[in-house]
Amino acid sequence: MAPMGIRLSPLGMAVFCLLGLGVLYHLYSGFLAGRFAFFMLSEPAAGGPETPHGSAPGGAVDLRELLAVSVLAAVRGGEEVKRVREGNVLNAKAKGKTREGAEEQLTTGDLLSNRRMFYLLKGAFPAVQINSEERVDTADQETVSWDRSIPEDIKQKIQPKEVPAESVTVWIDPLDATQEYTEDLRQYVTTMVCVAVNGKPVIGVIHKPFSSYTAWAMVDGGSNVKARSSYNEKTPRIIVSRSHAGKVEQVARQTFGNKTVIIPAGGAGYKVLALLDVPEKNQQEADVYIHVTYIKKWDICAGNAVLRALGGHMTTLTGEEISYAGSDGNEGGLIASINMNHKALIEKLPDLEKTSHK
């Protein structure tokens, strides 16, 4: 007799499958749980201990912290600038020519200051874009740590304020007035840091290494410097680059009169400080700062931020606001003032815009 076939009911099949699943779960649950625990221990949770310093959850940075580390960076860079100059180990060489044909100098002070400032800022705020005058050589990378302390004067005047990291651009000038630095005209030399948010300068730091004076300001925040109270708008004292004095003098005297004073000086940082109330015996005073040629943004961003924070202005010669996003150069020259009718100044100097392109 042939064996009879065995047929399982649908209910029996379901029970059989459930039993099989139970056996598989028992065999593999321990293995899977172990692998999951290993994965959780190996990968830091988002926003956990591995979140970079200076960055808040969600990719935000605190501008008060960024101001504090910017001040520290300018001072640390200034220490390198001073050490190299006083040791007379500049190793100056030409790195190229300006659009006007003048040789641009590069020294050991530029390079060491740049390295110290860049890596301090990058270590504290790794998610933020940093633009510097000098190239950063990864072979010379160094660890420069920030202890996250905020100076008391900044704590007292500035409230925490978070902005998206992707909206921030930091501009570094590790040694402003390099030409004057090589000539040992120390009063003109500064180190500068600027923070721009969506292209607008909001934090400016200008440090004078040879006198240890530092000016800082934050737009809609506070500052440790103030504007001078007295200005002469009819016959202003105009501060200009040493190489541009002749270009500006003729037009300025025709516009404001023969009593107008032209002050040749080095360094964009120094020229902005000339518009402010700075307790420095080697700091000249001026009413207006004019530059009539192309200029790099790391030269002017910090000064622009300081002036904005104090109610002043820095624009192109035609009155356009300067954006600190995109390219690193400003084509339209500049005019800077504070506690003066900035628009009236621009209207009085229409010929300078043409001069800036010569």
Cα dihedral 182/96/188/119 (nearest 10): -100
The answer to whether 65 touches 148, Cβ cutoff 8 Å, is: yes
Q: Is 299 annotated as a binding residue?
A: yes
Sequence-ordered list of residues with C-beta below 8 angstroms from that of 5, at least 6 positions apart, any chain: none
Structure tokens belonging to residue 313:
């202005």
Closest CA to 109 of 181, 46, 210: 181
Q: Is 137 annotated as a binding residue?
A: no
Check if 235 is active-site.
no
Q: Is 175 annotated as a binding residue?
A: yes
Catalytic residue among 62, 107, 108, 110: 110
DSSP 116-131: HHHHHHHHH-TTSEEE
Catalytic residue among 107, 108, 169, 178: 178
Q: How far apart are CA 187 and CA 284, in angstroms?
A: 10
Q: Collapsing DSSP states into helix, strand and coil, what is residue 288?
A: strand
Residues composing the chain: 358
- Dihedral of alpha carbons 227, 118, 315, 211, sign: positive
Alpha-carbon distances of 358 from 268, 318, 340, 347, 352, rounded to whole Å? 20, 16, 28, 20, 10
Q: Is 310 annotated as a binding residue?
A: no
Q: How far apart are CA 139 and CA 158, in angstroms?
A: 37
Q: Which amino acid is at 257?
A: G
Q: How far apart are CA 340 and CA 318, in angstroms?
A: 16
Q: Is 133 annotated as a binding residue?
A: yes
Check if 147 is active-site.
no
Pick out the residues of the known binding site. Answer: 133, 173, 175-176, 299
Q: Tell me the binding residues for Mg(2+).
A: 133, 173, 175-176, 299
Residue numbers annotated as active site:
110, 178
